[in-house]
Amino acid sequence: MRIATQEQDAADLAFALQAATEAGGVLMQHWAARSNLTVTTKRAGDFLSQADVEAETCLRGILLGARPTDGWLGEETGEAVSTHRRWIVDPLDGTTNFLRGIPHWAVSIALEVDGQRRIGVVHDPVKAETFSARLGAGAHLNGVPISVAKTDNLSAALFGTGIPFGGMDHIDDHAADIARLMPHCAGVRRMGAAALDLAYVAAGRLDGFWERRLRPWDIAAGLVILREAGARTAAMDQGDHPERSGTVLTATPALFDAFAGLLCAQPGQPGQSDQSDRRA
């Protein structure tokens, strides 16, 4: 196994930031003329636009163009296998928001090295906000260090989530989650872009977040940023990990146990926290 260096991580982060900015520029051009976009439907409530495709083409051209031996996992262009390094990319997280003119969407880029997620970038072009982190070096917003909120009282906490849509068969599970949590907290927000929601927890704008059955590109970058900002993260099934299950439960350290106890199938026994376990 090759060992990634801090110097290599810093170079990879700078490269990812450049790629995210360029893809963001592509998306902003389409944002200004989104009524003209060609849109198809993958399934009920899940859309694909010309903007998604062009942004991912841009990212792939930049990242693999300069490093053709790297692997790839993209929402729109699938997977290219590598044994050492892999970029995990969502070119437009929050496509529905984008198409409806709701300014909450982002470009998400993560880098996995030897099975370990080491780089995370979530870029919001509309608000000119870029959340980023590299393993062991903290999390940042536009270059300024960020950390999770200091909220220590569940009754004052604000949480984010993603609500299932269309024919998803876990709608009832999520409704039950909300029913258990709402009496104990200050509120729940459903904003429609998981990558940004995770970054908002890292920046202290939300105190926690949970969602089931997310895809790797939805969460890969956000999890790196969260952990470097001091959040606790877990899956909702004991002994599992979010990267493997796609189910994410995260909160500030002071709130995590109470939050997880309300939401997990076995109250008081949340999924194994991976605060110190950063494997894929």
Domains and CATH numbers, the chain: 6-146 (3.30.540.10), 154-263 (3.40.190.80)
Distance CA 255, CA 272 (A): 16
Band of residue 105 on the pLDDT scale cut at 50, 70, 90: very high
Specify whether the CB–CB gap between 87 and 110 falls below 8 A: yes
φ and ψ at 263, to 5 degrees? -100, -25
Strand pairing report for 85-93 and 71-74: parallel
Band of residue 145 on the pLDDT scale cut at 50, 70, 90: very high
Any idea what the Cα angle at residue 130 is, between residues 147 and 158, rounded to 5°?
A: 45
pTM for the structure as a whole: 0.88
pLDDT digits (tens, 9 = 90+) for 148-201: 999 999 999 999 998 866 555 567 777 888 989 999 999 999 999 999 999 999
Q: Which amino acid is at 205?
A: R
pLDDT of residue 33: 87
- The b-or-e profile of 188-198 (16+ CB within 10 A means b, else e) is beebbbbbbbb
**Given CA atoms 253, 257, 263, 265 in this order, what sign does their dihedral have?**
positive
Mean per-residue pLDDT of the chain: 87
Q: State the average pLDDT over residues 121-130.
A: 98
